[in-house]
């Protein structure tokens, strides 16, 4: 693709939808930022599209380590740019994602048990084969790309409305860093962020508790796309700064799955477990509890939930997860 046909960006401006049933449950207006409707199935395309535009123009190809969705974004963008893409995923990523990546034209390598193993291989391939390395969450250009989500939300809400809180899922912390930066750019550093992880993929929560970045022994959650063993340093540093305040919360895999199921029933949208963690903030009563504890204001005003999306889900995968987690 030459410069004249290169689009300004690869992501779309997604809808911000008010959910009547979630608002009723939360006791406050809930707005859903529908990142599941991005071309690659998740918000990842914002940062990865931006990074590839800045870094991969004259490259021989890109290599991305991923739990799945960063890879989907990298494969989509590389195809649009006319570049070959190699995506390295761990063996824990569902076969479904491997197939989707291949359909997108990517070469898929399965290495190691968790994302951190796949990442070591991606770095090696970048070095040996001279490919542009695309990280899934730890890079300033990714955060800059993700940050664009906040002015979009602000524009959709209109001049008189400001979120009472923003809910995000956290894997390696890339989306969180983007949302922090977007809030700063808007001058909204008083808007709290509720960061959601599942137990067993909780590297950010563990870092906040320990007061330093820590490495988890293993990823035991089924939310593999939240499964980085360590959170990126910048996300941890933002948690210490207090502006915007970040409240780190956990749900179980079962709660995340229940959220996926309720979301499907009530909103007619299927998302993966990584996104279910954010939705569970409403469905499992985390927001109400934080209000009771005084960590969030009452009344809260508009609660914005980033529906991060994800491609690692279909009816079969949903049934597999139900079998594993509801028994």
Residue identified by tokens 């983007």 is 178
Cis bond upstream, residue 134 (ω within 30):
no
* Burial category of 82 from C-beta neighbours within 10 Å (exposed 0-12, middle 13-18, buried 19 and up): exposed
What residues contact residue 181 under an 8 Å CB cut-off, 6+ apart?
Answer: 143, 144, 146, 147
- The residues pairing with 197 across neighbouring beta strands, listed in sequence order, are 250
Binder among 32, 256, 274, 279 for ligand PLV (CB under 6 A): 274
Binder among 115, 133, 236, 283 for ligand PLV (CB under 6 A): 115
Query: Can you tell me the distance from the alpha carbon of 276 to that of 173, in angstroms, rounded to the nearest whole number?
Result: 16
Query: Can you tell me the distance from the alpha carbon of 46 to that of 100, in angstroms, rounded to the nearest whole number?
Result: 19
User: Quick check: 76 binds ligand PLV (CB under 6 A)?
Assistant: no
Angle (deg, nearest 10), helices 233-241 and 174-186: 40
Sites for ligand PLV among residues 137-166 (CB under 6 A): 137
User: Quick check: 136 binds ligand PLV (CB under 6 A)?
Assistant: yes
Closer by beta carbon to ligand PLV, 34 or else 175: 175
User: Quick check: 67 binds ligand PLV (CB under 6 A)?
Assistant: yes
- For residue 90, the minimal CB distance to ligand PLV (Å) is 8
User: Quick check: 174 binds ligand PLV (CB under 6 A)?
Assistant: yes
- For residue 4, the minimal CB distance to ligand PLV (Å) is 31
Which of 67, 160, 159, 172 lies closest to 122 in space, CA to CA? 67
Residues 219 and 315 sit within 8 Å (Cβ to Cβ): no
Query: Can you tell me the distance from the alpha carbon of 256 to that of 326, in angstroms, rounded to the nearest whole number?
Result: 11
Closer by beta carbon to ligand PLV, 42 or else 262: 42
What x-and-dash track marks residues 214-253 binding ligand PLV by CB under 6 A? -----------xxxx-------------------------
Binder among 45, 70, 166, 288 for ligand PLV (CB under 6 A): 70
Q: Which stretch binds ligand PLV (CB under 6 A): 17-25, 126-134, 282-290, 305-313?
A: 305-313
At 10, list the tokens.
Answer: 């690869």
User: Quick check: 275 binds ligand PLV (CB under 6 A)?
Assistant: yes
At 152, list the tokens.
Answer: 């979009």
What x-and-dash track marks residues 182-221 binding ligand PLV by CB under 6 A? ----------------------------------------
Phi (first) and psi of residue 5, to 5 degrees: -95, -5
User: Quick check: 170 binds ligand PLV (CB under 6 A)?
Assistant: yes
User: Quick check: 276 binds ligand PLV (CB under 6 A)?
Assistant: no
Residue ranges that bind ligand PLV, judged by CB under 6 A = 42, 44, 66-70, 115, 136-137, 169-176, 225-228, 272, 274-275, 308-310
């Amino acid at each position: 693709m030459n410069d004249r046909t290169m689009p300004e960006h690869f992501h779309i401006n997604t809808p911000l939808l008010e959910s009547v049933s979630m608002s009723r449950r939360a006791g406050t207006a809930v707005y859903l930022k529908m990142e599941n409707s991005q071309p690659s199935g998740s918000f990842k395309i914002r940062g990865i599209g931006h990074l590839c535009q800045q870094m991969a123009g004259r490259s021989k190809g890109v290599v991305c380590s991923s739990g799945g969705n960063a890879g989907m974004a990298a494969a989509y963008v590389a195809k649009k740019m006319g570049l070959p893409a190699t995506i390295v995923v761990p063996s824990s990523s569902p076969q479904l994602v491997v197939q989707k990546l291949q359909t997108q034209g990517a070469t898929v390598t399965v290495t190691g048990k968790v994302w951190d193993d796949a990442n070591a291989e991606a770095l090696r391939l970048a070095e040996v084969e001279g490919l542009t390395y695309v990280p899934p969450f730890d890079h300033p250009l990714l955060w800059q790309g993700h940050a664009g989500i906040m002015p979009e939300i602000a524009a959709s809400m209109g001049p008189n409305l400001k979120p009472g809180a923003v809910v995000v899922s956290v894997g390696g912390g890339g989306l969180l860093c983007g949302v922090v930066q977007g809030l700063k750019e808007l001058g909204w550093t008083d808007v709290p962020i509720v960061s959601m992880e599942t137990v067993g993929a909780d590297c950010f929560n563990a870092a906040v508790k320990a007061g330093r970045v820590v490495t988890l022994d293993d990823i035991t959650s089924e939310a593999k796309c939240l499964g980085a063993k360590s959170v990126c340093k910048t996300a941890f540093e933002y948690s210490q700064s207090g502006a915007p305040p970040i409240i780190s919360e956990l749900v179980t895999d079962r709660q995340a799955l229940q959220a996926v199921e309720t979301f499907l029933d009530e909103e007619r949208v299927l998302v993966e477990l990584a996104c279910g963690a954010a939705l569970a903030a409403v469905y499992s009563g985390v927001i109400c509890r934080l209000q009771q504890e005084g960590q969030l204001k009452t009344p809260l005003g508009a609660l914005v939930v980033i529906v991060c999306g994800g491609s690692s889900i279909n009816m079969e995968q949903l049934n597999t997860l139900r079998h594993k987690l509801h028994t």
